[in-house]
Structure 1
């Protein structure tokens, strides 16, 4: 069967699968045009919390970025209901390959035949989790950073993605105040994250080896690069559990040992996950 691009997208919902830190921020951006946005999570409480976040933050985002004041949000813990007639589905679940493989097989079966199935994964290429997908031509990576503050989005083909989907998203995403960039060749970490991974890895190592404290690394980084974003503050925002998953995957692909894993695991075992738990490398989050 030949894949047909989604039609009447202005009148159809968008579904975000995963209501965590990034899922809710993606939902916020994709709500700017007033389309119905559904947030699915296996925990209805998490989905409702994500919808509440969008509802409370949306007015400011519309004022700053433009868009419709109308808002239609729904929290779902039933995947079939959440996917019904959606033209775009964005996966934002934890960086676990088996989880993504199972989920995309379900999405392929349950979503509308013309729905675009996008993964927000920053460390797994879509080619790694389309084994159970009957129509891989509609699957791709659509990687967000930390919107609405960072609005760049990377689009990367699975190697089977219909090129018209890339063209469609390049045209549609700017309507949501997003700036899309095409990753020209499959790459673990895509564009920016390959560069960031090197900075992050060395930052973790100089602390794990006792060369510096996180605050020293951040202070130097801020001074030299005149940047408000610094390595350890940023890792605290992402979540140290997520950082560990990503680092483990990068090291596995490269065939090297993750030497910072014991330090990260100690933080995680203590419940110090970063901003979301109130403490990470820093303990001044209220």
Structure 2
């Protein structure tokens, strides 16, 4: 039986960070979430509380929601992650410079034995590790949205990630009741590279008038048994997130990942998917 880390820091309390915090708190970890302002911290705590309430309604909790929530603390700076933490997970937006600054600051605040992980979905784990004094304790732990319900964590190994860090990342993944896939660090890893490929082609089909979004999604859902179509998944992930990943892959892997103009236009209009109510589908 695997054991969850006793203490976890999560930097960033957005949809992904809140989901990561909820999952570890549910697995009995004591969790500290870093958010930059009182308003952002309150919003993060509300996301976690709402997620726990939904889990309880589905009989997925073995404790009272208040007891799980009591294991979560909000702070406003990375420097407040002082002392021992088994694991710190960075879950800020997909900006390489921002992530590098965050994990470097975290390394200065935590103990020498703390594993530092990034939830990046596409950025180079090797390049992020280069900002650390001890890159061997750094690993990619790519969680999927919505984190509490998803069964997968993609473990991304940089060349300097040591065997003990890998072992701990796998053990902690299993302690959450999730499965792992282990990949070598490369642009887009396995999941984002394949998922974005399908999503971009679906967007091009809409752009070219091949079919309506619902029909394209139904073709993959009914014909290939995907749990949801590529356009609905793009809405769930966020069109802005998909665009950022596509731009990174375009820069590193070439023109086959060039973002369609329709994707750029929708992001410019603020049609980002479920979080704004409109993407390729309309969300209530």
TM-score by length of 2: 0.88
Q: Distance in 1 between matches of 2:121 and 2:12?
A: 15
- Which of 35, 47, 50 is equivalent to 1:53? 47
Provide the residue aligned with 1:144 in structure 2: 143
Provide the residue aligned with 1:206 in structure 2: 205
Q: Distance in 2 between matches of 1:9 and 1:113?
A: 19
Q: Which runs of 5+ in 1 are unaligned?
A: 1-7
Task: Please say if residues 24 and 54 of structure 1, whose CA atoms lie closer than 8 Å, have aligned partners that are also in contact.
Answer: yes
CA displacement at 1:114 relative to structure 2: 1.4
CA displacement at 1:10 relative to structure 2: 5.1
Provide the residue aligned with 2:9 in structure 1: 15
Q: Distance in 1 between matches of 2:194 and 2:22?
A: 27
Provide the residue aligned with 1:102 in structure 2: 101
Provide the residue aligned with 1:3 in structure 2: none
CA 1:125–1:259: 2 relative to 1, 3 Å: closer
The answer to whether residue 217 in structure 2 is matched with residue 223 in structure 1 is no
- Cα-to-partner distance string for 1:156-182 (whole Å, 9 max, x where unaligned): 211111211111222232222222222
Q: How does 1:69-148 map to 2 (within 5 A)?
A: 69=64, 70-71=67-68, 72-82=71-81, 84-146=83-145, 147-148=147-148
Q: Distance in 1 between matches of 2:143 and 2:49?
A: 20
CA displacement at 1:56 relative to structure 2: 2.9
CA displacement at 1:138 relative to structure 2: 0.8
Q: Distance in 1 between matches of 2:23 and 2:232?
A: 23
Q: Distance in 2 between matches of 1:250 and 1:67?
A: 41
Any idea what SS the aligned residue of 1:23 has?
helix
Q: How does 1:124-273 map to 2 (within 5 A)?
A: 124-146=123-145, 147-183=147-183, 185-256=184-255, 259-273=258-272
Any idea what SS the aligned residue of 1:278 has?
coil
CA displacement at 1:209 relative to structure 2: 2.9
CA displacement at 1:84 relative to structure 2: 4.2
Any idea what SS the aligned residue of 1:190 has?
coil
Q: Aligned-residue CA RMSD in angstroms? A: 2.2
CA 1:254–1:9: 2 relative to 1, 3 Å: closer
Task: Please say if residues 127 and 158 of structure 1, whose CA atoms lie closer than 8 Å, have aligned partners that are also in contact.
Answer: yes
Task: Please say if residues 144 and 151 of structure 1, whose CA atoms lie closer than 8 Å, have aligned partners that are also in contact.
Answer: no
Any idea what SS the aligned residue of 1:112 has?
coil
CA displacement at 1:187 relative to structure 2: 2.6
Task: Please say if residues 142 and 153 of structure 1, whose CA atoms lie closer than 8 Å, have aligned partners that are also in contact.
Answer: yes
TM-score by length of 1: 0.88
- Which of 27, 31, 42 is equivalent to 2:36? 42
CA displacement at 1:257 relative to structure 2: 6.7
Any idea what SS the aligned residue of 1:141 has?
strand
Q: Distance in 2 between matches of 1:10 and 1:104?
A: 19
Task: Please say if residues 141 and 169 of structure 2, whose CA atoms lie closer than 8 Å, have aligned partners that are also in contact.
Answer: no
Task: Please say if residues 151 and 179 of structure 2, whose CA atoms lie closer than 8 Å, have aligned partners that are also in contact.
Answer: yes
CA displacement at 1:130 relative to structure 2: 2.2
Q: Distance in 2 between matches of 1:281 and 1:83?
A: 43
Q: Distance in 1 between matches of 2:62 and 2:86?
A: 19
